[in-house]
């Protein structure tokens, strides 16, 4: 079997839903399970509804509901007719009635618990899949619409619930029966706790659903259909010559995820990683175009991609007392822990430590505490350039080429990942684009 996951933009309109179904029907002989997100912007609108209702602004919540209802019904009417239209419209109406009761409840209580938030957000995927399944039937595709809450079991950390794998795998195998010639349709993102309450896996969680299902059903692959041609060698908005990476390892993709390559998040493909199932990233608008295959180990040595991220702050702590002493690093890290600020890159010498952060909300407090430990210097407006590739160090000329390409760029810090798959450089933010373009030219355009 095969899992086809369509993101919000891939089901955002009647036209896109038909494109998604063109793709799904071309895989009918591979026993496809289609997992869909909510139509683009729906979850954001549901968040707005939740916030308005929870603050007692019921009118505002209802106005957003009305707009969402109109949009979903209009899309359905473009795709389905006759009795099927009536039946599916009733289905949508029941979901909007449920949403309406939730608004009432929240507005009365003037509060919103994570649990009621999940009840509201889950409606987006229930709506989109009802439309997708109805359209598939309308097109004569033998279709079964499933309710993912019947088999995705989660803990009760609402808004970011974690799957309970034992129960989930058992339920999935019992209730989801892929077969050639049939299309199964299920919601991404949503699940249910052991006590039967609706939960969600966290924003962007539909990819997670897809790989959970793929792993449970031993899929031959999980295809993530989105609005870009896979993972690119660099951000195409910065580097015009950026191109799709054909094959990339899970580890390389994970490094890139931190840097704007938001195509797939490593935590959401964990079930595929653990079971060795390839994850393909494909473009619904360009189904035969370039795509990326994420695999356990991609062949070939060398640079795979260059990513960049602005908004980086560098903190240096130096102290001669650090020389030959121990305990400095743990005191420094305790400070970051206290202020709940993750450190991304680190470089140390005998008498100093340099660290980058991208969340500066706790910076004042961090500095005050670090000043107890040593002399502190902060540099803001920096950027990280991350070069990702398997066994970069097996190519002795690699570092030389990096520095040649960055001839004019002042490098503020260097960090070589222990994973052997990334070299990160910190540079002034206003030099980022030019530096990334120079590196891309150096490594990818000259056939290097």
Contacts to ligand ASP by CB under 6 A: 7-8, 37-38, 43, 124, 188-189, 203-206
* Shortest spacing between CB 6 and ligand ASP, in angstroms: 10
Judged by beta carbon, residue 7 or residue 163, the one nearer Mg ion is 7
Tracing tokens 């089901």 back to the chain, one arrives at 11
* Shortest spacing between CB 187 and ligand ASP, in angstroms: 9
| Position 163 contacts Mg ion (CB under 5 A) | no
Question: Using CB distances below 5 to 8 A depending on partner kind, what does residue 43 bind out of ligand ASP, Mg ion, none?
Answer: ligand ASP
How far is CA 48 from each of CA 43, 68, 107, 258, rounded to the nearest angstrom? 9, 12, 13, 27
> Do 287 and 23 contact (CB within 8 A), yes or no?
yes
Q: What is the DSSP letter of 443?
A: I
**Residues paired with residue 414 on neighbouring β-strands, in sequence order:** 425
Question: Using CB distances below 5 to 8 A depending on partner kind, what does residue 230 bind out of ligand ASP, Mg ion, none?
Answer: none
Question: Using CB distances below 5 to 8 A depending on partner kind, what does residue 251 bind out of ligand ASP, Mg ion, none?
Answer: none
Helix (H) or strand (E) holding 304: strand 302-318
Question: Using CB distances below 5 to 8 A depending on partner kind, what does residue 214 bind out of Mg ion, ligand ASP, none?
Answer: none
How far is CA 248 from each of CA 207, 295, 395, rounded to the nearest angstrom? 18, 6, 18
* Shortest spacing between CB 207 and Mg ion, in angstroms: 6
* Shortest spacing between CB 336 and ligand ASP, in angstroms: 29
Judged by beta carbon, residue 110 or residue 203, the one nearer ligand ASP is 203
* Shortest spacing between CB 204 and ligand ASP, in angstroms: 4
* Shortest spacing between CB 410 and ligand ASP, in angstroms: 39
Judged by beta carbon, residue 205 or residue 374, the one nearer Mg ion is 205
How far is CA 255 from each of CA 106, 281, 291, rounded to the nearest angstrom? 40, 16, 19
Q: Which of 18-26, 200-208, 253-261, 370-378 is the region at the interface with Mg ion (rule: CB under 5 A)?
A: 200-208
**DSSP codes, 218-264:** T-SEEEEEESSSSSBSS-TTT-TT--B-SEEEHHHHHHHHTTT-TTS
* Shortest spacing between CB 205 and ligand ASP, in angstroms: 5
**Residues paired with residue 216 on neighbouring β-strands, in sequence order:** none
> Do 96 and 65 contact (CB within 8 A), yes or no?
yes
For residue 70, count CB atoms less than 10 angstroms from its CB and return exposed for 0-12, middle for 13-18, buried for 19 or more: exposed
Judged by beta carbon, residue 7 or residue 374, the one nearer Mg ion is 7
Helix (H) or strand (E) holding 199: strand 198-200
Judged by beta carbon, residue 17 or residue 242, the one nearer ligand ASP is 17
Tokens of 75: 């899309």
304 half-sphere exposure, CB direction, 13 A CA radius: 30
> Do 245 and 185 contact (CB within 8 A), yes or no?
no
| Number of amino acids touching Mg ion (CB under 5 A) | 2
* Shortest spacing between CB 38 and Mg ion, in angstroms: 10
Helix axes 165-175, 206-216, angle to 10 degrees: 70
Q: Which of 6-14, 82-90, 93-101, 340-348 is the region at the interface with Mg ion (rule: CB under 5 A)?
A: 6-14
| Position 188 contacts Mg ion (CB under 5 A) | no
| Position 204 contacts Mg ion (CB under 5 A) | yes
| Position 124 contacts Mg ion (CB under 5 A) | no
* Shortest spacing between CB 202 and Mg ion, in angstroms: 11
Phi first, then psi: give them for residue 318, nearest 5 degrees. Answer: -130, 150
**Residue number closest to Mg ion, CB atom:** 204
* Shortest spacing between CB 36 and Mg ion, in angstroms: 11
* Shortest spacing between CB 106 and ligand ASP, in angstroms: 20
Rg of the chain's alpha carbons, rounded to an integer?
A: 25
**Residues from 402 through 431 that contact Mg ion (CB under 5 A):** none
Tokens of 320: 């001669």
- Compute the residue count for the chain: 448
Judged by beta carbon, residue 137 or residue 207, the one nearer Mg ion is 207
**Residue number closest to ligand ASP, CB atom:** 206
Helix (H) or strand (E) holding 414: strand 413-416
| Position 271 contacts Mg ion (CB under 5 A) | no
Question: Using CB distances below 5 to 8 A depending on partner kind, what does residue 161 bind out of ligand ASP, Mg ion, none?
Answer: none
The angle formed by the CA atoms of residues 8, 91 and 61, to the nearest 5 degrees, is 65
Distance of CA 398 to the CA centre of its chain: 30
Judged by beta carbon, residue 36 or residue 305, the one nearer Mg ion is 36
Judged by beta carbon, residue 204 or residue 230, the one nearer ligand ASP is 204
Judged by beta carbon, residue 228 or residue 385, the one nearer Mg ion is 228
Question: Using CB distances below 5 to 8 A depending on partner kind, what does residue 124 bind out of Mg ion, ligand ASP, none?
Answer: ligand ASP
The residues that touch Mg ion, with contacts defined as CB under 5 A, are 7, 204
């Amino acid at each position: 079997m095969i899992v086809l996951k369509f993101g919000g933009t891939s089901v955002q309109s009647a036209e896109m839903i038909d494109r998604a179904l063109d793709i799904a029907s071309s895989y009918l002989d591979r026993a496809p399970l289609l997992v869909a997100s909510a139509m683009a912007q729906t979850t954001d609108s549901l968040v707005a509804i939740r916030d308005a209702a929870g603050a007692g602004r019921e009118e505002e919540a209802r106005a957003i509901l009305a707009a969402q209802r109109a949009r979903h019904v209009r899309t359905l009417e473009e795709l389905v007719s006759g009795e099927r239209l009536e039946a599916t419209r009733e289905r949508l109406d029941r979901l909007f009635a449920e949403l309406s009761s939730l608004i009432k409840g929240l507005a009365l209580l003037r509060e919103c618990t994570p649990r009621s938030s999940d009840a509201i957000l889950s409606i987006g995927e229930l709506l989109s899949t009802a439309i997708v399944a109805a359209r598939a039937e309308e097109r004569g595709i033998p279709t079964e619409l499933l309710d993912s809450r019947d088999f995705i079991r989660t803990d009760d950390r609402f808004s970011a619930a974690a799957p309970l794998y034992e129960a989930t795998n058992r339920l999935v195998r019992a209730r989801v029966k892929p077969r050639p010639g049939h299309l199964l349709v299920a919601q991404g993102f949503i699940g249910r706790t052991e006590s039967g309450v609706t939960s969600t896996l966290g924003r962007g969680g539909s990819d997670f659903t897809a790989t959970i299902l793929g792993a449970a059903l031993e899929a031959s692959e999980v295809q993530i259909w989105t609005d870009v041609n896979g993972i690119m060698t660099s951000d195409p908005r910065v580097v015009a010559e950026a191109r799709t990476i054909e094959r990339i390892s899970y580890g390389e993709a994970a490094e890139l995820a931190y840097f704007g390559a938001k195509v797939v998040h490593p935590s959401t493909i964990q079930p595929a990683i653990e079971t060795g199932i390839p994850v393909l990233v494909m473009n619904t608008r360009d189904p035969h175009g370039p795509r990326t295959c994420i695999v356990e180990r991609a062949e070939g040595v060398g640079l795979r991609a260059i990513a960049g991220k602005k908004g980086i702050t560098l903190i240096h702590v130096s102290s001669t007392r650090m020389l030959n002493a121990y305990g400095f690093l743990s005191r420094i890290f305790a400070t970051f822990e206290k202020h709940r600020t993750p450190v991304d890159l680190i470089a140390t010498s005998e008498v100093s430590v340099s660290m980058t952060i991208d969340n500066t909300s706790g910076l004042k407090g961090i500095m005050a505490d670090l000043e107890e430990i040593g002399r502190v210097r902060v540099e803001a407006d920096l950027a990280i350039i991350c070069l990702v590739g398997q066994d970069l160090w097996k190519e002795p000329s690699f570092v030389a080429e990096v520095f040649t390409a960055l001839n004019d760029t002042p490098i503020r810090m260097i960090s070589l990942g222990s994973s052997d798959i990334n070299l990160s450089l910190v540079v002034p933010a206003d030099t980022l684009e030019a530096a990334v373009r120079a590196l891309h030219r150096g490594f990818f355009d000259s056939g290097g």
